[in-house]
Structure 1
């Protein structure tokens, strides 16, 4: 991890990507989250058009990390077209910065001999890699619609800009917390609670991920959870 000039959480995410054979996809996700919240924009006179364009990236309620990946992939497929950015209400300058960061990350990954595997359809693999780096940033839905972080519990909320804001998944991993009127989670993906025991057994026990008072089924080892 010392080879990467990154936050330890992002570095761990990149390293974990090889285990799930999604290194190419995770390099894209890490580059996109590195540029912050400056990817999408909503002109006042075209809010509906912008919202519809942005929703296309998160079809199927895939979550924010995968929506960012879809945005980058769409831009790449357009041969990094500026016109594509205008049509999809995406910041050209931010995307160019993401491309530069991604190129640097891929170079670093190759230097430490991470195999640049690719599986664009394995959404769970990408989310597991993110959870491997950000396992501390996990929260569980409460009855009142708020969330509570799993360890060192505090009340947090889905950021209104999240593609999952109307979905309210039961378990989420988030990139960062932003304090405005409330403590908001930003850049969010849905996860399965048993992944936490698989990914970070030193940090989470089965007791931590009990849902509705029910224990996880006995014998849920690593192999079973991978399914």
Structure 2
């Protein structure tokens, strides 16, 4: 829950010599953070149930029309704008065209499409052992998309792990999810394409973050972070040439 400042505001804006800052504070999320490698079968299932419960709520949630969240079209537009500044990224541009055609071909029903968290990963969920439930934070990236996209985004690290067989983890997650919320078989078949959206969207955001990033007089951690983003960008780029 958001906590009000001493001035009674939920959001505080502060101007400093370094620029403007916007600050918010939230109450603690109970529980502990778990990596996938730490999760047993019942926790993976509970993770799936938690996301299924969120989608069940999303199906009936009606936000204020003036503050409606962005949707997947806005995501495609963000990618397009970023790639316009990097026109040499030919494979990424082709990937965008393929994704656009595919996404516009999908049907949108209340059982398959709605407001999703989009970042339902381990760093945003906290295991509460006494209730066998996860507490969720960080809805900053929420958007209107297919619920299958939320599943794929949550399991992205599991699905993309080439070094080990993650089928059991996915099976446990989906068993928990479908116990709460139905999932069409065709949507499961679309998981690889939703993963491609997630990667291209992340790629465009990394491109944007790296623009004008070759700075001097930076703190010690900056060079390591920049190198990490460059490495991830280059690895992602290799996947765009894979056939559809």
TM-score w.r.t. length of structure 2: 0.21
Which structure has the greater CA radius of gyration? 2
RCO (CA 8 Å, sep 6+): is it higher in 1 or 2? Answer: 2
TM-score w.r.t. length of structure 1: 0.22
